[in-house]
A and B are shown apart, each in its own frame.
Chain A
Amino acid sequence: MNKPVPERDVQAAQRLAFVDCDIHPVQRTPKDLHPYLSAQWREHADTFGPHVCQGLIGQLAHPRMMANGMRADAYPSNGGPPGCDLEMMQRQHLDAYGCETGMMVCLSRGGMEERNLEFAAALSHAVNDWQLHDWVMNDKRLKAGIVVPQEYPDYAAREIDARAENEAFRQVIISPRSSEPLGRRKYWPIYEAIARSNLVLGLHPAGLSGGHASSGTGWGTYYMQEHYTFGTSMVGNVVSLIFEGVFERFPGLKVAMIESGFSWAPSLGWRMDGQWQRMRKETPHLKRPPSEYLREHFWFCTQPMEEPEEPAHLYDVLDWIGWDKMMFSSDYPHWDYDDPRRALSFKMTDAQRSAILRENAKALYRLP
Chain B
Amino acid sequence: MKVPFAGAIDCDVHPAVPDVAALKPYLDDFWCEHLSERYIDHAAFTLASYAPNLPHSARPDWRPECGVPGGSLDALRAQALDPFGTRFAIANVLHGAVALHNADMAAALCKAVNSYIAHEWLDREPRLRASILVPPQDIELAIAEIERCAADPRFVQLLLLVMGDRPLGHRSYWPVYRAAEKHRLPIGIHAGSTFRHAPTGSGWPSHHVEDGVLQATAFEDTLVSFLAEGVFQKFPGTKLVLMESGFTWLPTLLWRTNRSWRGVRTEVPWIDRPPADIVRDHIRFTLQPLDVPNANLLNRVVDHVRSDALILFSTDYPHWRFDGADALPDGLSDAMMRKILIDNPLATYPRLGAAVEADERTSLRKEMAR
List, in ascending order, chain A residues with CB within 8 A of B222's CB.
217
From residue A126, how far is it (CB to closest CB) to chain B in Å?
25
On chain A, the number of residues with a Cβ less than 8 Å from chain B's Cβ atoms is 70
Q: How far, in whole Å, are A310 and B210 apart by their CA atoms in the complex? A: 32
List, in ascending order, chain A residues with CB within 8 A of B216's CB.
268, 271
Q: Are A182 and B264 in contact (CB under 8 A)?
A: no
The total of interchain contacts (Cβ-Cβ below 8 angstroms) comes to: 245
List, in ascending order, chain A residues with CB within 8 A of B290's CB.
274
Q: Are B267 and A223 in contact (CB under 8 A)?
A: yes
Please judge, given known A-B contacts A239-B210, A279-B55, whether A177 and B205 are in contact too, CB under 8 Å.
no
Please judge, given known A-B contacts A228-B220, A271-B248, A274-B291, whether A236 and B263 are in contact too, CB under 8 Å.
no
From residue A279, how far is it (CB to closest CB) to chain B in Å?
4
List, in ascending order, chain A residues with CB within 8 A of B221's CB.
215-217, 220, 225, 228-229, 232
- Tell me if A346 is interfacial: C-beta within 8 Å of chain B: no
- Tell me if A272 is interfacial: C-beta within 8 Å of chain B: yes
From residue A248, how far is it (CB to closest CB) to chain B in Å?
14
- Tell me if A353 is interfacial: C-beta within 8 Å of chain B: no
Output the nearest chain B residue to A215 by Cβ-Cβ distance.
Answer: B221
Most chain B CB neighbours (cut-off 10 Å) among A182, A236, A273, A282:
A236
List, in ascending order, chain B residues with CB within 8 A of A316's CB.
300, 304
Q: Are B167 and A215 in contact (CB under 8 A)?
A: yes
Q: How far, in whole Å, are A10 and B13 apart by their CA atoms in the complex? A: 65
Output the nearest chain A residue to B275 by Cβ-Cβ distance.
Answer: A224
Residues of A191-237 contacting chain B, CB below 8 A: 209-225, 227-229, 231-233, 235-237
- Tell me if B86 is interfacial: C-beta within 8 Å of chain A: no
Residues of A153-191 contacting chain B, CB below 8 A: 176-184
- Tell me if A276 is interfacial: C-beta within 8 Å of chain B: yes
Q: Are B260 and A213 in contact (CB under 8 A)?
A: no
Q: Are B197 and A176 in contact (CB under 8 A)?
A: no
The digit string for A75-108, where 1 denotes a CB below 8 A from any CB of B, is 0000000000000000000000000000000000
Q: Are B212 and A220 in contact (CB under 8 A)?
A: no
From residue A91, how far is it (CB to closest CB) to chain B in Å?
25
- Tell me if A292 is interfacial: C-beta within 8 Å of chain B: no
Sample (8) of A-B pairs whose CB atoms are under 8 Å apart: A179-B203, A217-B162, A228-B256, A228-B260, A240-B200, A271-B216, A304-B260, A310-B306
List the 4 shortest-distance A-B pairs measured between CB atoms, nearest first: A236-B200, A233-B201, A267-B248, A215-B221
Given known contacts A224-B267, A232-B220, what 20 new A-B pairs fall within 8 Å (CB)? A178-B203, A181-B203, A181-B205, A216-B193, A217-B162, A219-B166, A220-B224, A222-B264, A224-B264, A225-B224, A228-B257, A233-B201, A267-B248, A271-B213, A271-B248, A304-B259, A306-B256, A309-B258, A309-B276, A313-B303
